[in-house]
Amino acid sequence: MKIGIVCYPTFGGSGVVATELGKALAKAGHQVHFITYSQPPRLDFFNENVFYHEVHIPNYPLFQYPPYELALASKMVEVVKNAQLDLLHVHYAIPHASSAYMAKQILHSQGIEIPFITTLHGTDITLVGKDPSFEPVVTFSINASDGVTAVSESLRSDTYAQFDVKRPIEVIPNFIDLERFKKQKKDHFKLALCPNGEKLLIHTSNFRKVKRIDDVLKVFYKLRKVLPSKLLLVGDGPERPGLEKLSRDMGLTSEVRFLGKLDAIEEVLSVADLFIMPSEKESFGLAALEAMACEVPIISTNVGGIPEVNVQGVTGFLSEIGDVDDMVKNALYILDDAHLPTFKANALERAQDFDITRILPRYESYYEQILQVSASNEAPAVRL
Query: Footprint of ligand GMT on this chain (CB under 6 A)?
Result: 12-15, 17, 92, 121-123, 126, 151, 174, 205-206, 210, 281-286
In the complex, the smallest distance separating the C-beta of residue 210 from ligand GMT, rounded to whole angstroms, is 5
Between 189 and 366, name the residue whose CB sits nearer to ligand GMT.
Answer: 366
Minimum gap (Å) between residue 206 Cβ and ligand GMT = 5
Give me the least distance between CB of 286 and ligand GMT, in Å please. Answer: 4
3-state secondary structure of 337: coil
How far is 119 from 145, CA to CA, in rounded Å?
10
Q: Residue 177: CB partners within 8 Å, gap ≥ 6? A: 20, 24, 356
Residue 95: is the preceding peptide bond cis (ω within 30°)? yes
CB of 250 to ligand GMT, least distance (A): 24
Among residues 127 and 178, whose Cβ is nearest to ligand GMT?
127
Nearer to ligand GMT, 122 or 224 (CB): 122
Q: Which of 51, 106, 50 is closest to 78 using CA atoms?
A: 106
Handedness of CA 294, 295, 299, 302 (dihedral sign): positive
Please state whether beta strands 31-36 and 50-54 pair in parallel, antiparallel, or not at all (unpaired).
Answer: parallel
Q: Which is nearer to ligand GMT, 70 or 128 (CB)?
A: 128
Supply the minimum distance, in Å, between the C-beta of residue 155 and ligand GMT.
7
Residue 232 near residue 201, CB atoms below 8 Å: yes
CB of 96 to ligand GMT, least distance (A): 11
CB of 375 to ligand GMT, least distance (A): 29
Burial of 111 (0-12, 13-18, 19+ CB in 10 A): exposed
Q: Name which of 17 and 347 has its Cβ closer to ligand GMT.
A: 17
Find the helix or strand (DSSP H, E) in which 104 lies: helix 96-109
* Angstrom distances, CA of residue 351 to CA of 86, 293, 314, 358: 32, 5, 12, 11
Cβ 331 vs Cβ 274: under 8 Å: yes
Nearer to ligand GMT, 17 or 335 (CB): 17
Is 24 or 335 the residue whose CB approaches ligand GMT more closely?
A: 24
